[in-house]
Amino acid sequence: MSSNRSASCKVRSVRRVILAWLALGSLHAVVMAAEPSPPPAKNSDITISWDPRWSEDVDEATPQVRFFLDGHLAGRNEPGFQIVLDTMRRLPRGTSIVWWPDAKKMGSRPPGAQTVPSALYPKRWREFQQIAKERGITLSSLGYPPRFDEEAHYLEATYIEPTAVAVPGDIVLEWKWAEDGAWPVYSLDGRESGHGPDGLRATVERLKQYPTGARLRVRGQDTEEQFVRPPNVDDFPREFREVAAARKFRVAFEIRKAHWPLSANRPAICQFEWRNFNLPATPHDEVLYLLDGKPVGMGNAGFDAVLQRIKQLPAGAYLEYPQYHLSSRAATEEEQEKFDAEDPVPFGKRRRELNDIVKQHRLVVDRGSIPGDEETSIYLNKLLQFAVIVRDGAKPARADAVISWTQEPREDDEPAAAAIYFYNGQKTGIGTRGFLAVLKKLESLAAGATVRIDPISIRTQGPFRRAVVMRGQRHFELTGADPFFGLVDLLAEEAHRKRLHVELIPSKGKAAAANADEDG
């Protein structure tokens, strides 16, 4: 009995890893549309990728290497790589190419693993590098697929019982695990699309044929045919999120009610969160607290306002606030357990006050997860929804207002000094208060005004040590963390409210040290 349980746990563990891999976009290159990529647009940057990840995974007798341009299948084996080379010859000078996977930058590679095309097609690989040199193309590599636009497609979903009555026009998306437990088998409305990456791709293409606005019922099953919780909203594979957003599907997860997340059982009653907490060194008086999305104050004064609101909740009410998690790729299980036990929050010295109120009022606490490795992705997506990067020495527009800041340099083991903010050259203050003063001044601008932020911690000229690849953006690289990193949603709200045209002036500094290497 014990051995069977152990084997079952291992299989389920493998499944979780596979689903996480899919959700993080690790199969990005594999699961995109199979048709050849159209020629790149003028002055656009491109990505080149291939599968499998390294040469040791290639069967020499029957090699099956797939090459992708911007996520679209270009071809297979050496002829496929030749299509890549022919495409490169048509690219304009100054184009950036980001390619992956680079075996040298992968932490989990087997001994002696080599990058696939350099090992299998050395002559073509040399040609690849020579074409780039002759045409002034910059080459940058990544160990893993880029993840910076994972948050670009938000998905709101509801939860329903598996026995819920079908609504006319419902689309049922289902996956079952194959007998070998290796890959899920996907189906739509009872008709299988296939398993693994090919099945996922075929399912996405079929979903595109359904009418907009339909309800998409997501159903997951294990090998015992019992309903289990499918990937939650955050882990829902990106390909499904994209098509659901594009087709305006109403997504409903079929999960037994006993397994619904707390937030699905009732409307939120009270939610508090914070901004500008760059754990663990941020002074408490630099942290801004929010209640139900509205700023209520900073430091102890802000937390006092939070506690006062929580005291007014009726017995049994629900309270939501965030919880941090380490990156699953960067942390060991032991490190993750230690981090979870410490549970860093900005009000650490006053945690007992909150816990006493929760206990006294018998509140139900729901801690939303904040994976640490997603914060940069969230920041960039929010920033670039309302702002544009002025690239490579291009002339910025005449600005009605200029936001700038300075910050003392620091050593790697020192906490960052609070930034000093300026509005049109006039100092507004230091740290969070200085930035909030900037936002206050933006309120006086006319609708449609142009605002310049100079500098922004971005470099636009390659090659890059760790390139940022996002849809609709040319490649760039971070040179550090902007001091208003945790306050960008407040800036976004003002920019959208006033319909501001915001331009970002890159700092042109060196790549951030933290981005120097891949995971390993």
pLDDT for res 341: 86
**pLDDT tens per residue across span 253-310:** 887 666 666 555 555 578 898 987 776 667 898 899 999 878 899 999 999 999 999 9
Contact (CB, 8 A) for 300 and 285: yes
Residue 61: both structure tokens together: 């007798």
pLDDT for res 249: 87
111 Cβ contact partners less than 8 Å away, ≥ 6 residues apart:
none
Alpha-carbon distance of 166 to 173, in angstroms, equals 13
Contact (CB, 8 A) for 67 and 83: yes
Peptide bond into 237 cis (omega under 30): no
pLDDT for res 378: 78
pLDDT for res 369: 63
H runs (alpha helix) in 417-503: 431-442, 488-498
pLDDT for res 151: 42
- Count of CB atoms situated within 10 Å of the CB of 237: 19
What is the chain's mean pLDDT, rounded?
Answer: 78
**pLDDT tens per residue across span 458-504:** 999 989 998 999 878 899 999 988 989 888 889 999 999 999 999 99
Residue 386: both structure tokens together: 């309302």
Alpha-carbon distance of 430 to 407, in angstroms, equals 10
Alpha-carbon distance of 325 to 14, in angstroms, equals 21
- Count of CB atoms situated within 10 Å of the CB of 393: 9
Alpha-carbon distance of 16 to 19, in angstroms, equals 5
**pLDDT tens per residue across span 374-416:** 578 778 888 998 999 999 778 999 999 999 999 876 555 555 5
The one-letter amino acid at 75: G
Contact (CB, 8 A) for 519 and 107: yes
Whole-prediction pTM: 0.67
Q: Binning pLDDT at 50, 70 and 90, where does residue 20 land? A: very low
Query: What does each C-alpha distance from 350 to 37, 179, 297, 354, 430 come to in angstroms?
Result: 56, 51, 16, 7, 25
Q: Which residue(s) pair with 66 in the sheet?
A: 51, 76
